[in-house]
Structure 1
Amino acid sequence: MRRLSVLATSVALLSSLATAKEIKIGAVMPMSGAVASYGQTAFAGVELANKMQPTLNNGDTIKIILVDNKGDKVETSTATTRLISSEGVVGILGALTSTNTAQVISVAEKSQIPVIAPAATNDQLTTKREYANRVCFMDSFQGEVVANYAFNELKLKTAAVIIDQAQVYSLGLAKAFEQTFKAAGGKIVKKITVSSGDKDFKAVVSQVKSANPDFMFLPLYHPEASMFARQAK
């Protein structure tokens, strides 16, 4: 009887393996370009999760198909189209920055392919979208928390805000911060716009020093933020 039970279990297992499918999940991330460090660290997490659980409970295997969008909007659109049309993915992770994630969602929505945004924070990304979701905080929440912490906890009353006019992430976060900081009683003494790719911030630093704020709020991506910080010393 025990042998029959073992045999039945083995047959069921073999049958399950025979019908198991490969589930393809796309990942659109910047593995090269100015914000490559974001993509590289995020995808390392995706790989770890896939390694920890490479199969579903029904035996289906999960295959992650990565496409490098180089941090570029056009490349993002091309990568998303390729994953859907050529690779046949059933879902997409990415593309980290808000501007490029909006592009992924725009393309994927037309094919009814679900998108999960790991780090894109712009408030409008998932508005009126049926197949888009995120697993991070939104700009409105983050900007509010930073403003309240600066004013109420650190007792900082004046601020200079440096905004990257080319990034919806920067624009959205700056807007939320400004609204909350002013409502709390704070004052924005200087607001300056920069652009992604800028390298010389000496003139901006000079303007900020002249305004003499209690602190600076820089909702920038790390390439520009790091250079700004070094030049502000």
Structure 2
Amino acid sequence: MTLARLLCAMMVASLLASCASPPPPPVLRIGLIGVFEGPARNASGMPARLAARMAIDELNATGGALIDGVSHRLILIERETANRPDAAAAAARALINLDSIDVLVGPQFSPLAIAAGAVAEASQVPLVAPMASSPQVTAERSYVMRLTFLDADQGDVLARYAFDSLGLRRTAALFDAASEYSRGVVERYGRTFTARGGRMAGVATYNGDDVGDQGMQIRRLMQEAPDAVLLPNFSVRDSSQVRLFRAAGFRGPFLGSDAWDAIALRGRQDIDGSIIVGNWDGRSDREGVRTFRDRWNRRYLGERPRATGAATYDAIRLIARAAERARVRSGMALATALRTGAPFDGAFASYRFDSSGDPIRGAMLLQMTGDSLLFRATLSPQR
């Protein structure tokens, strides 16, 4: 056989071999950004990771996502971020430019989601922020949506419950002056509470970077004899502030936002009677919660399901549903389908969508009593 014929035969054999190998199945690539180390690991990063993996496996077990008539297997690609906006933005860029993801999930904290969302918006890649509640996450953005309620909405539902159900008429508030989150809750609470006939007996601030206590502010607020105290701060601060208020003689209830870590604070006698806003009640008998809880407990024995996990689980499922509806894996069509989908009874909440990127959903009011959280009401914010 001549060299030319040999080369020709080898080319034919190569072509036949390539024709015999089926093309790889199409995939939908989902990027997850999380804080997997440090203080936020157990309450945020790890529940998100575990829930995302569970949702991906469940969807793939039933055929993945049917996009434009073709089954797509879902692939999860994770990138860790430090708890800093610049690190979150870098993780988003890496997932988009290096990992070629189709859609992003996370980060969970608002400052990180704002930064990652800016990268997603500029790259025209949809992003779902499961737990980020700052209005800046979705403001003037078309590719970003959230699953939680807005920060300030907590102030509205807390004020209505405090006035209408608890009969409170005088409230004091203490919050971090540099925290847009805390300020928004207090301002919205004050507007709603006073509009109903209540009075803000005193409002004081502190510097979140100051390691000292707020004894002086607390003594000043106590002079106004409040019926309740609003503390929309993170649990590490609220924990010490509660002790100082009790030491100063305050015996009324505290009002807390979703920044409180109810699991970490449970069992504290000085917390008893406090009312907090909750995104999620894992003990609910609603079908979406019950199904998630049962599946989680079977898969992750001994690992407590958390709100972050429920929200991330919903995010993955909503992405698959939106991709099937939009008949595409990414881009504006997918973002629009995410922001305008039909009502969805999820693990985290029951949602309706109005194209704003912010879901229409209720917030739960929970009372801390002993080792338990008692469900009191679900209220939708009045906008």
Q: TM-score range by the shorter chain?
A: 0.7 to 0.9
Cα distance between partner residues in 1 of 2:102 and 2:91: 14
Select 1:52's aligned residue among 36, 54, 58.
Answer: 58
Residue 127 of structure 1: CA displacement?
Answer: 2.2
Residue 196 of structure 1: CA displacement?
Answer: 4.4
Indicate the residue corresponding to 1:141 in structure 2: 153
Residue 33 of structure 1: CA displacement?
Answer: 3.4
TM-score by length of 1: 0.81
Task: Tell me which protein shows more helix as a share of its residues.
Answer: 1
RMSD: 2.4
The 8 Å contact of residues 85 and 116 in structure 2, kept in 1 or not, is answered as no
The 8 Å contact of residues 170 and 220 in structure 1, kept in 2 or not, is answered as yes
Residue 197 of structure 1: CA displacement?
Answer: 5.6
Structure 2 matches for 1:45-84, cutoff 5 A?
Answer: 45-54=51-60, 55-57=64-66, 58-84=70-96
Question: Does 2:102 align with 1:90?
Answer: yes
Report the residue type matching 1:183 in the other structure: A
Question: Does 2:44 align with 1:38?
Answer: yes
% same residue: 26
Report the residue type matching 1:83 in the other structure: L
The 8 Å contact of residues 29 and 94 in structure 1, kept in 2 or not, is answered as yes
Residue 163 of structure 1: CA displacement?
Answer: 2.2
TM-score by length of 2: 0.52
User: Residue 108 and residue 191 in structure 1: after superposition, are their counterparts in 2 closer, same or farther (change >3 A)?
Assistant: same
- Consecutive unaligned residues of structure 1, counting only runs of 5 or more, are 1-14
Report the residue type matching 1:30 in the other structure: V
Q: Which stretch shows the higher mean deviation, 169-178 or 107-116? A: 169-178
Structure 2 matches for 1:194-205, cutoff 5 A?
Answer: 194-196=206-208, 199-203=211-215, 204-205=217-218
Secondary structure (helix, strand or coil) at the match of 1:180 reads: helix
Cα distance between partner residues in 2 of 1:69 and 1:195: 26
C-alpha deviations, 1:139-159, integer Å up to 9, x for none? 343221111000111011111
Secondary structure (helix, strand or coil) at the match of 1:53 reads: helix
The 8 Å contact of residues 158 and 189 in structure 1, kept in 2 or not, is answered as yes
User: Residue 35 and residue 154 in structure 1: after superposition, are their counterparts in 2 closer, same or farther (change >3 A)?
Assistant: same
User: Residue 100 and residue 164 in structure 1: after superposition, are their counterparts in 2 closer, same or farther (change >3 A)?
Assistant: farther
Report the residue type matching 1:213 in the other structure: P
- Consecutive unaligned residues of structure 2, counting only runs of 5 or more, are 1-19, 247-383
User: Residue 70 and residue 209 in structure 1: after superposition, are their counterparts in 2 closer, same or farther (change >3 A)?
Assistant: farther
Structure of higher CA gyration radius: 2
C-alpha deviations, 1:125-171, integer Å up to 9, x for none? 31221101111212343221111000111011111222233433222
The 8 Å contact of residues 159 and 214 in structure 1, kept in 2 or not, is answered as yes
Question: Does 2:37 align with 1:25?
Answer: no
